[in-house]
């Protein structure tokens, strides 16, 4: 097992992030106003907006020409025609969705150690299930609960997810190395008779090497290619301990208002005696597909996951999410899930889940 306890994973991530306090991040490229929203520092963000809105003159080297060049290769930077306005000819059109999230094009690069959102950040005070998993089990006998737990079928769920770029331009001007951390908690906040415990918290640190790509498939633009190492565990002792380690590939496509992410993965083998969940790949899957659509301020998401096996080893899950405006910057959030593996402790438990709450940060 590569990483057994969540505090080790958190320590590794914080070691990558903390140098930012002593290292001044590179200034963002001022040609794209949407890139400014990702900057956490108020001073740097204001400077970015000043550049993007024409309050200062931009260097001539940063101006985009309209001349068409040769068709770029798959990993070459692509120069696009950029519309201009009479008030400020330097204001570029907005970034594409994947570009805004992963800083793929040269114009969107923000440098290293800028802490940004990764997956959605949300709070759902109401998260209900059709079938609470009161007796989690695993083929490993030491990871099977023998006494049923007393669980409510309604709880709270929240997710925190951050990432930062630790190395920009790993191979010259190609490839950026990111580290990310995601934490998902299920809180039995209404279970007063059991002192309102946290039923499950999953910790997921990872490192991803991401590349900018340019090709087309069936009307979709192939915009990114990545490879990463991922650890996920719940940090609990036996019999409730669950964990696995994976090598994950990321292949990203987009078109107007849509993104499509394909993620096949390979589980890193563990010694069977130490494996909390030896059959996890047959339930949590060997890959997933995520489709996101932005429409009139709303964000719709569909996640499909499958074991990629047949017969008795065929298991999967589907998740639908919806983020929508409420008032001002406040957004609502709804989630529906059906299948196996809504959390690690429930990796081989099949149930339906429905939750509502608020979204603090969306995918895009």
Tens digit of each residue's pLDDT (9 = 90 or more) over 9-23? 444 344 444 444 443
Q: Are 344 and 234 in contact (CB under 8 A)?
A: yes
- Write down the pLDDT at residue 243: 97
255's tokens: 């078109």
pTM of structure: 0.77
Question: What does the pLDDT read at residue 165?
Answer: 98
CB 223 within 8 A of CB 104: yes
Residue of 241, 277, 200 whose CA lies nearest to 4: 241
From the candidates 233, 243, 307, 359, which is the catalytic residue?
A: 233
Active site residue 161: no
Q: What does the pLDDT read at residue 33? A: 66
With contact defined as beta carbons under 8 Å apart, do 264 and 289 qualify?
A: no
pLDDT for 32 equals: 58
Where do the domains of the chain lie? 24-95, 115-361
Classify domain 115-361 at the CATH class level.
Answer: mainly beta
* Candidate list 231, 306, 315, 349, residue with the active-site label: 231
Q: Which pLDDT does position 101 carry in this prediction? A: 93
Residue 297 CB partners (closer than 8 Å, separation 6+): 324, 325
CA dist., res. 219 & res. 204, Å (int): 34
Kindly list the distances between the CA atom of residue 139 and the CA atoms of 143, 278, 345, in Å, as whole numbers in the listed order. 8, 7, 13
Give residue 250's pLDDT: 98
In whole angstroms, what is the distance from residue 317 CA to residue 323 CA?
20
Other CB atoms within a 10 A radius of the CB of residue 352 amount to 13
Q: Is-catalytic flag, 150? A: no
What's the CA gap between 83 and 86, in Å, rounded? 10
The segments of the chain whose pLDDT lies below 50 read 1-31, 56-72, 77-92
Q: What is the pLDDT of residue 36?
A: 74
Q: What is the pLDDT of residue 272?
A: 84
What is the reported pLDDT for 38? 66
Measured in whole angstroms, how far is the alpha carbon of residue 306 from the centre of its chain?
A: 19
Residue 78 pLDDT: 45
């Amino acid at each position: 097992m590569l990483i057994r306890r969540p505090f080790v994973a958190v320590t590794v991530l914080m070691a990558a992030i903390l140098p930012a306090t002593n290292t001044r991040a590179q200034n963002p490229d001022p040609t794209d106003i949407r890139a400014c929203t990702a900057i956490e520092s108020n001073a740097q963000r204001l400077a970015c907006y000043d550049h993007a809105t024409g309050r200062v003159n931009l260097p001539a080297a940063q101006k985009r020409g309209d001349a068409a060049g040769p068709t770029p290769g798959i990993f070459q930077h692509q120069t696009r025609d950029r519309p201009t306005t009479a008030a400020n000819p330097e204001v570029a059109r907005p970034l594409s969705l994947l570009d805004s999230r992963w800083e793929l094009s040269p114009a969107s690069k923000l440098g290293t150690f800028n802490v940004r959102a990764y997956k959605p950040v949300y709070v759902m005070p109401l998260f209900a299930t059709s079938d609470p998993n009161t007796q989690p089990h695993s083929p490993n006998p030491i990871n099977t609960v023998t006494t049923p737990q007393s669980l409510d079928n309604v709880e709270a769920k929240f997710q925190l997810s951050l990432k930062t770029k630790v190395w920009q331009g790993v191979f010259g001007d190609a490839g950026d190395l990111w580290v990310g951390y995601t934490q998902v908690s299920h809180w039995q906040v209404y279970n007063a008779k059991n002192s309102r415990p946290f039923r499950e918290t999953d910790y997921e640190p990872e490192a991803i090497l991401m590349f900018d790509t340019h090709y087309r498939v069936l009307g979709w633009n192939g915009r990114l290619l990545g490879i990463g190492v991922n650890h996920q565990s719940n940090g609990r002792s036996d019999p409730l301990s669950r964990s696995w380690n994976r090598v994950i590939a990321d292949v990203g496509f987009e078109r107007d208002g849509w993104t499509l992410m394909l993620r096949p993965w390979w589980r890193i083998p563990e010694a069977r005696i130490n494996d909390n969940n030896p059959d996890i790949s047959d339930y949590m899957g060997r890959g997933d597909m995520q489709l996101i659509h932005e429409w009139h301020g709303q964000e719709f998401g569909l996640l499909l996951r499958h074991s990629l096996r047949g017969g008795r080893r065929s298991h999967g899950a589907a998740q639908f999410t919806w983020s929508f405006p409420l008032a001002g910057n406040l957004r609502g959030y709804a989630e529906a899930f059906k299948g196996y593996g809504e959390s690690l402790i429930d990796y081989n438990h099949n149930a339906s889940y429905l939750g509502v709450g608020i979204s603090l940060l969306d995918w895009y």
